[in-house]
Amino acid sequence: MKNYLESALAQFRYYKMLGDKSMAQLEDEALFWSAGEEGNSIAVIVKHLWGKMLSRWTDFLTSDGEKEWRNREGEFEADIKDRAELLEKWEAGWACLFAAIDSVEASNYDQVIYIRNQGHTITEAMNRQLCHYAYHVGQMVFLAKMQKGDAWESLSIPRGGSKAYNAEKFAQEKKKAHFTAEYLEKDQDQEK
């Protein structure tokens, strides 16, 4: 249980970091751009993730993950006014998620979690959300990269950098570590 929770938390933090770094590369107006009438902007994706996170993770252990108060259709309305509101929603959703995961412990790990009346183990419920968020954060990265073009700063191994990256990795001693650790540590160092 402890290993799974640590691994899942590292993955959630990694995807949050990818979203953070994608949005940070964009001018304000680019956060609200969409590729067409049916396309979602980064702001709309953030609003959807915020609504889903609040619904899924509020009272995670005691109530259905699809809350009566959730307005899923409204999550796709482009009405976020500015970067500040967008980032407020982004941070609120992630804070709710991290607080809920912190409430999981050995005594409640076997509890059944419901989403739309469908029972899940905690592992299943978390995996379901992890995959869904990765899907949407990938969309955010793509939209940001598409808009930045050649000015895009890679969030992973830049093109043409695989050989050097692998050489550096294989020059180190074998060790057990979550693959996200180096990205998250680098991100924390940059924030200091």
Judged against a pLDDT cut of 90, whether residue 186 lies above it is answered with no
Q: What is residue 192's predicted lDDT score, i.e. its pLDDT? A: 58
Q: What is residue 153's predicted lDDT score, i.e. its pLDDT? A: 94
Burial of 25 (0-12, 13-18, 19+ CB in 10 A): middle
Count of helix runs (H) and strand runs (E) in the chain:
6, 2
Domain count, the chain: 1
Look up the CATH number of the domain holding residue 116: 1.20.120.450
Q: What is residue 188's predicted lDDT score, i.e. its pLDDT? A: 64
3-state helix, strand, coil in the chain (%, to 5): 60, 5, 35
Q: Please give the sequence-ordered ranges of beta strands (E in DSSP) within 108-158, or none if there are none.
A: 113-115, 118-120
Domain span including residue 181? 2-191
Confidence (pTM): 0.91
The secondary element (H helix, E strand) that includes residue 29 is none
Q: What is the pLDDT of residues 106-164, one digit of tens each?
A: 999 999 999 999 999 999 999 999 999 999 999 999 999 999 999 999 998 888 989 98
Close Cβ partners of 73 (under 8 Å, ≥ 6 residues apart): none
Judged against a pLDDT cut of 90, whether residue 21 lies above it is answered with yes
Q: What is residue 190's predicted lDDT score, i.e. its pLDDT? A: 64
Region 23-47: mean pLDDT is: 95
> Could you tell me what percent of the chain has a pLDDT over 90?
79
Closest CA to 9 of 97, 134, 122: 97
Tell me how far apart the alpha carbons of residues 139 and 34 are, in angstroms, rounded to a whole number.
11
